[in-house]
Amino acid sequence: AGAETVKRAVELDLASRFQESLVCYQEGIDLLLQVVKGTKDEAKKQRYRQKISDISAGVFTEKSFFSDGKYHKQIRIEENATGYSYEKLFQEYLTEIVSEVWVEDPYIRHLYNFLRFCEMLVKGPCKVKTIHLLTSYDEGSGRNQQTSGLEEIKQSLRNYGVTLNVSFSSSIHDREIRFNNGWMIKIGRGLDYFKKPEGRFCIGYCDFDLRPCHETTVDVFHTKHTKKM
């Protein structure tokens, strides 16, 4: 699997699809490292280590995308900008090995946005089995609607073999989304960076690529491991 992933990375690299190739290279290295850990033959271990070293030196060092083992990219979304649906932001990081997702956002209030995010995960190509949501309770009368809406999403996800675990905290402040392949995305405004549509029959109501956005920044990182809540 590691060799196939690296082969795919080379193909993407040759096609000048550098961002996607970096994702595959990193996953290929992670898979090869797993093989090294499970191999008792010292000669094979040395060959795998050399291959990993060659890939790292030839790709990440040359392109200078990684620093101290961590990748960082920042996207700035301007006020009223369009073309920033969840698919556009997240799809290239949702590779087939993604099976677990963590969402930490203190203000999950517009549940349709969270639902859209879940729909994207269900569509693949990733094979998500578990979604962890850590958020805070809505204040006042909106609390019942929030909890009942999340419960409905949870029940619906079960029909697709996906488990949604919801936890509440009054002390969280950070907004971040993590995938178990090591990618982490931090959005300044969380998942609710879209503006409300002017009406139910306006362009952008259904297609989020056509929905104007609030100004925000998106930071993308890759780390060796993802932390669990």
- 229 has a pLDDT exceeding 60: no
Higher pLDDT, 16 or 107: 107
| Residue 77: per-residue pLDDT | 94
Q: Are strands 100-104 and 130-135 parallel, antiparallel or unpaired?
A: parallel
Mean confidence (pLDDT) of the chain? 83
Domain ranges of the chain: 1-67, 71-225
pLDDT at 54 over 70: no
- pLDDT > 60? residue 173: yes
| Beta strand segments in 81-215, E | 100-104, 130-135, 163-168, 176-179, 183-187
- Quick one: tokens of 190? 């969380």
Question: What's the pLDDT tens digit per position in 24-36?
Answer: 777 777 777 777 7
Q: Which two tokens stand for residue 1?
A: 């699997």
The CATH class of the 71-225 domain is alpha beta
- Tell me what pLDDT residue 59 has: 54
The more confidently predicted of residues 87 and 2 is 87
Cα distance from N-terminal residue to C-terminal residue, the chain: 29
* CATH code assigned to 1-67: 1.20.58.80
- Between β-strands 216-222 and 176-179, what pairing exists: parallel, antiparallel or unpaired? unpaired
